[in-house]
Structure 1
Amino acid sequence: MLTAEVTVPVDRAAAFATLADGWLYASWVVGASHIGRVDPDWPAVGSQIHYRFGLWPVLISDTTVVRAADPPHRLELEARLWSVGSAWIRLTLSEATPGHTTIRMTERASGGPARLIPGVAQDLAFAARNQESLDRLADLIRARAQNS
């Protein structure tokens, strides 16, 4: 399973705080284009983000659900994607050196027809998108750190 990775110059709690702001989800997740609602207890297990993905005027509404959370170390999500199925996503945060957090993201199709795609093909399909998502997340984390 390929893992996208980025390191940001903040501690793990500050990095996780950006993940914990569900309203920022469409700012860093490639494909998500509009947040309609975030459950007030996000990112508690079972909480959801209601969003649209795609490009206007073809937008499809769906949800992402928290399946496991261990703040500020790990967040596991199930992102639903209409009739294509769903994906399991794990984000792990570790501090290799004080004040620098490495975020790793892995993803696998977990429901619908997409889960029939072999793992290597999924890696190829998700790799560039996940790296771009983490690069966007890193930019948000850096901006929040500069403005705090």
Structure 2
Amino acid sequence: MIEVRRRLGATPGQVDAVLADGWTYGLWVVGAVHIREVSEDWPKPGARIRHSIGAWPLMIEDRTYVEEYEPGRLLQLRAHAGPAGTARVRLEWEPDGDGSTVRMSEDAIAGPGRLVPPPVRAPLLRLRNGESLARLAAIARGRPEQPDQA
């Protein structure tokens, strides 16, 4: 898995609130441009987001599924990217002073993306996911703390 890490000026609860709202996916995930549907049970395992990736008029309709979710700590996704294949994306966040630190790991698990050598795909994923975490930080800072769902 290729990992990026970022300290966010948002609490773990604020980070969780963004990630637990599937409709924000297109705001923080670089490449996802249009959300068409979010399962009512998002972010429970098995829930999905139907989205488009790319730029008009060359958009690909695709989907992302939740594999694992631990409120306030972890979200693991299986993201389909059309002809490029499928990736596993894991986000883990923890308290860090008055904010939080988020680790985002991603790598190809199926399709042609696996044929790209890791030394070639790693820098591209680091750039893309670094920008995704910057967007996540900006959105999370603007969201109120969510009460515990337990």
Question: If the length of structure 1 is used for normalisation, what is the TM-score?
Answer: 0.92
Aligned to 2:95: 95
Deviations 1:5-48 (A, max 9, x none): 22223321221111011001000111010000000111100100
Calculate percent identity across the aligned residue pairs: 39
Closer/same/farther in 2, CA of residues 9 and 125 from structure 1, 3 Å limit: closer
Aligned to 1:59: 59
Structure 1 SS opposite 2:75: strand
1:72, distance to aligned residue in structure 2 (A)? 1.1
2-structure distance, mates of 1:125, 1:113:
15
Aligned to 1:120: 119
Aligned to 2:25: 25
Structure 2 SS opposite 1:55: coil
Structure 1 SS opposite 2:44: coil
Does residue 108 of the first structure (1) align with residue 107 of the second (2)?
Answer: yes
Q: How many residue pairs were aligned?
A: 145
Q: Is the 8 A contact 1:62 1:82 kept in 2?
A: yes
2-structure distance, mates of 1:30, 1:65:
17
2-structure distance, mates of 1:49, 1:83:
18
Structure 2 SS opposite 1:135: helix
Structure 2: segments with no counterpart, 5+ residues: 146-150
Does residue 39 of the first structure (1) align with residue 8 of the second (2)?
Answer: no
Q: Is the 8 A contact 1:39 1:47 kept in 2?
A: yes
1-structure distance, mates of 2:46, 2:17:
18
Aligned to 2:148: none
Q: Is the 8 A contact 2:17 2:143 kept in 1?
A: no
